[in-house]
Amino acid sequence: MNPREKIRLKSKIKKGLLLFFIFTLSAYIIIFFFYVKDTPKNIKIHFEFLNLFAIILLFFLSNFFNILRVYFLGKIFNREFNFSDSYIFTLGGVLLALITPFQSGGMPFQLFLLSKKKINLGNATSVLLMRGFQSVIVFILTIPFMLIYLQNVLSTSYVGNLKKYFMIIYSFAFTILIFIVIFNNKLKIILEKKLSDNLLKKILIKIVNFFSNFTGGIKTIFTDGIKENIISLISTFISLYSYFALSYFVIKLFNSDVDFMKAFSLQFLLTYLSAFVPTPGSSGVAEGGTALFFSQIVGKENILIYIFLFRLISTYIPAFLGLFSFLKIKDWEMSASNVD
């Protein structure tokens, strides 16, 4: 990386971190005025060895198996794709997702990494899509068991508005994706026959070829890579369930009487509701949702500290680790230009 690119990259990271800090600090201030309203005076944190051990263990499991998810998907397309590559892909992506709108900054970075391992853009995109689809599978298979604990929460206006938002976003995205996948080959034939050779035709053919590689990558994942895909899906369940369970043990620092399934189900719902919002790293929505869902369990006087501790363990530390992995990569010209 030349000095100019390095300065540019550092500037973008600093700008993203500043925006994230502003949104997060604003959320903490709003939560303070709505929930705490006064300096907390009776905060009691219970440090028990087994509880602290559980927090550390779940932190490890959620991140380790999150890394394994990508490791096995990457191996489908390149047997030289190793655990270190997956570590950088995952935690570097956490950093960039934290500091970019819609958590989108990690995608150019991750596509660049896969391209460095000689995985073409279409196949690399199929890896990212399958990783997201696995999370959807976890949601579909888990939500029926969570409904008994979420009946009151699902009826709130906060959840209702977010559900409407996601239905619009995902319906639009999936409609376009399905259309392109189904009609991609027909589009290619039409472009080759109807358009004369020019720059526009070359660009459109490249786009169509990208989606051909993408659909080919999806087919490969479900045929030649079915074994790795299943292992990756199992890793997804372990990673996400460890993440959801983490809330219970962090709450136990403040409240020893908390119900495990209630804490698990609330964190499960909050994670999916804040997965794709316009603020960097879901800042504001994640903190506000946590305050709304957990203030009655943790206690209003403890809610700010709980939010900070949970976000520190679940998000800030992995992003900090991602910062080191991110800065160790060379030749950032392509990825740096795509991270805004």
Per-residue confidence (pLDDT) for residue 235, from 0 to 100: 97
Cβ neighbours, 10 Å, residue 245 = 20
Residues listed for the chain: 340
Would you call 28 exposed, middle or buried from its count of C-beta atoms within 10 A (0-12, 13-18, 19+)? middle
122-177: pLDDT as tens digits:
889 899 989 988 998 999 899 888 888 887 777 777 677 766 766 776 677 677 76
Distances (CA, A) of 22 to 27, 134, 279: 9, 32, 11
Which residue is listed with tokens 């189904």? 182
DSSP three-state, residue 226: helix
Per-residue confidence (pLDDT) for residue 9, from 0 to 100: 60
Two structure tokens written together for 155: 């009826």
DSSP three-state, residue 94: helix
Per-residue confidence (pLDDT) for residue 320, from 0 to 100: 85
Per-residue confidence (pLDDT) for residue 339, from 0 to 100: 42
Per-residue confidence (pLDDT) for residue 275, from 0 to 100: 73
Per-residue confidence (pLDDT) for residue 337, from 0 to 100: 44
Phi, psi of 217 (to 5 degrees): -65, -40
What DSSP element (H or E) covers 182?
helix 157-194
Per-residue confidence (pLDDT) for residue 176, from 0 to 100: 72
Domain regions of the chain by residue span: 3-338
Which residue ranges in the chain fall short of pLDDT 70?
1-10, 12, 37-43, 101-106, 158, 162-163, 165-166, 169-170, 173, 177, 180-181, 184-185, 191-192, 194-198, 201, 276-284, 326-340
Q: Rounded to two decimals, what is the model's pTM?
A: 0.80
Give residue 198's region: left, alpha or beta (phi > 0; psi -120 to 50). beta
